[in-house]
Structure 1
C-alpha cells in the first residue's frame, strides 16, 4: 500500500481551514445544543472530518490511482465508508445524547451526511495537492531540459573529444590492438550518454558500467596517478537501485579536475553504495595551479536530485576528505515491468582500479 506524506503546507492548509469553518458551523450547533455539547460536537467534527480527509487524500487516492493497488484500495474504500457512517452516527449520538439506531438506510444516510461535512476540506486539499504536483512537474521538466542541454554539451565537449582522440591516435600508431579496444570503450561511453539522455533515472548497475568505461579512458591519459575503489552491495541489489544518469561522471570529473594525482602516491577515490545512498570520497589534494571552475556542476546535480527525489545531496569539503553523498531510490516492482538487472563489470564487494 502507498501512503503519501502530508507536507508542511498541507498541514497549514488544514489549520487555516478550520477557524473559518468553525465560525460557520459552531453558531448552528450553539443554537441547537448550547453549551458544552455544542463545543464537543465542534471538536468531534474537526477531528472526524480531518481524519476522513487525510485517509482519503493521503491513503485511498494514491492507491486508487496506482493500478497495482487499485483492487485493494477499492476494498479499503468500502471499509472507510462503513467506518465513516458508523463513527458519524454513533459519535454525534453520544455527544448530543440523541441515540439513533443504525439500520442500512440510516447508515447510508450517515455516510452521505458525513461526506457533505468533510467534502469541502477534501476538495480543497485535493486541489491543493494537484496544484503542488503540477508545480513540481513544471520545475522538474525545466530542470530536466537544462540538464539535457548540459549533458549534450558534455557529450561534445571539444577538450574531452580532443584528449581522447589524441590518445587514440597515439595507440593506432604504436598498438593497433589496444587502439581497437580503446575505441570500443570510447563508443560504449557515448552510447550510454545518448541512450540515457532523456531518462531521469538509470539503474546503479548501468551507472557503474558507464564508470568502468570512463575509468578505462582515463587510465590511458593519467597512467596510475589515480586509483578507484568500489565498496558495493551484492550484484543483484545494484539493478534494483536507481540513480540520476551521469552522477558518477560528474563526481569523478570533479575529483580529477581539482585534485592532484601521482604515480608514486596515487589519489584514492572511493565509490561506496548502500541501499539508500551512493557516496564518492577522496582525500583533499588541491592542484598547485588554480583550476578555473564556476562550481555549477555540483549545484546543478543538487538541484536535479532535489526536484526529482525531494532529497538533497550532501557535500562535505571542510575536512581532510572531500565527500559527496547522493540518494538512491529503490526501483518499483510491478510484475513483468522491471528491466532485468545486468551484471556489473565491477566486483560486488570491493574493487580497486588504478588510473
Structure 2
C-alpha cells in the first residue's frame, strides 16, 4: 500500500523545487559543456535541454514509482525492476550524448556501467532533494492527522463530563425537592452556578487552579447539604503555591471528590475524611478506603477519562496509589509558561 502524500508529482511546490534546481545547476552545466566541447553556448543548449529532460524524467520515475514501491509490501518488485531501469538509463545516456556530442557510441557492458554511474551523478542531487521534500510533507501530514485525532478524542472526552455531572446532581436535587423544597431552591442556585462554570470552560483545555478550587468548594457545599457530616473535607495548601497561576484540567477536583463519595461510605459519627493537597507541582486527593456495603455500579470511566485528558493535553500521567486502607490520586499542576511545552 502506497503512503498518502507520495503521489504528488506535478504540484506547484514540486515545480518550484525543480525549477529552482535547474536555475542553479543549468548555468553550471552549460559552462561545463562549453569547456568540454569547445563549442559556443548556443550550440550546447540542446545538450543542456536533453539533460534537463532526461534527468527530470528519471527522478520522476524513481520518486513516483520506486520509492512508494520500496515502502510497500511489494518492495521485492522494486529490487527486481531497479537494475533494469538503471541499465536502460545508462544506455540511453550513452546514446543521446554520443549522438549530440558527435562521439562514438559504445554499448559494451563496461561502458553501460560507466554510463549508469555518470547518469546517476547527474540526477542524484535532484532525486535527493525531491525525496527529502516528500519526507517532510509526509511528516507534516502525519502531524496534522495526529493533531486532528487528538482534538477529536478530547471533544469526545469533554462530552462525557457534562452529562455525568448533570445526571448525578439532578438526582440530588430530586431527593431534596421531595424532602425540603426550601433547601432544594438553594441547592438549585448553587448547582446553576456550578453548571455556569462548566459552560464557561467547556471549550477550554485548562483552567486556573484558583477557579478549580472555588468550583470544588461550591460543589462540596452541595454535598454537605445532601450528606450532612458524613463526609468531611480538609485543604492542605503549600505556602509557596501561586494559586492564580497554576493550571489544571477543568473538573479535576470535582471528579475526584465525587469518585471518593461514590465508592466510600461515611457517617456522622465516623465521617470519611477527604483531603485536598496542593503543591506547586501537583494536586492530590486522598481518603481512607471504606467500600460501601452495597457495591456501586461503575464502569470506571470517570478516572479513565481524566487520565486520558491529562495524557492528550499535557503529555503527563496521573498517579493512582491504592492500598486496602487508603486511596490517593495525584495530578500535575502546570505553570502557564510551560503549557505549550507540556502539550
Q: TM-score range by the shorter chain?
A: 0.5 to 0.7
Q: Which residue of 1 aligns with 2:151?
A: 141
Q: Does 1:215 align with 2:220?
A: yes
- TM-score after normalising by structure 2: 0.55
Pick 1 or 2: higher relative contact order, CA cutoff 8 A, min separation 6. 1
Name which of 197, 200, 216 aligns with 1:195.
200
| Distance change >3 Å, CA 130–CA 293, structure 1 → 2 | same
Q: Hey, what's the Cα distance between the residues in 2 that align with 1:131 and 1:265?
A: 58
SS of alignment partner, residue 162 of structure 2 = helix
Q: Which residue of 1 aligns with 2:318?
A: 313
| Distance change >3 Å, CA 287–CA 332, structure 1 → 2 | same
Name which of 256, 265, 286 aligns with 1:260.
265
| Distance change >3 Å, CA 244–CA 129, structure 1 → 2 | farther
Q: Which residue of 2 aligns with 1:183?
A: 188
Q: Does 1:152 align with 2:162?
A: yes
Aligned-residue offset at 1:128: 7.3
Name which of 270, 274, 284 aligns with 1:269.
274
SS of alignment partner, residue 154 of structure 1 = helix
Superposition CA RMSD, Å: 2.9
| Distance change >3 Å, CA 135–CA 287, structure 1 → 2 | same
Q: Which residue of 1 aligns with 2:211?
A: 206
* Structure 1, gaps ≥5 residues long: 1-118, 335-355
- TM-score after normalising by structure 1: 0.54
Name which of 142, 158, 163 aligns with 2:172.
163
8 A contact 1:233–1:273 mirrored in 2: yes
Larger radius of gyration: 2
> How many residues align structurally?
213
Q: Hey, what's the Cα distance between the residues in 1 that align with 2:297 and 2:315?
A: 31
Aligned-residue offset at 1:151: 2.1
8 A contact 2:216–2:253 mirrored in 1: yes
| Distance change >3 Å, CA 185–CA 235, structure 1 → 2 | farther
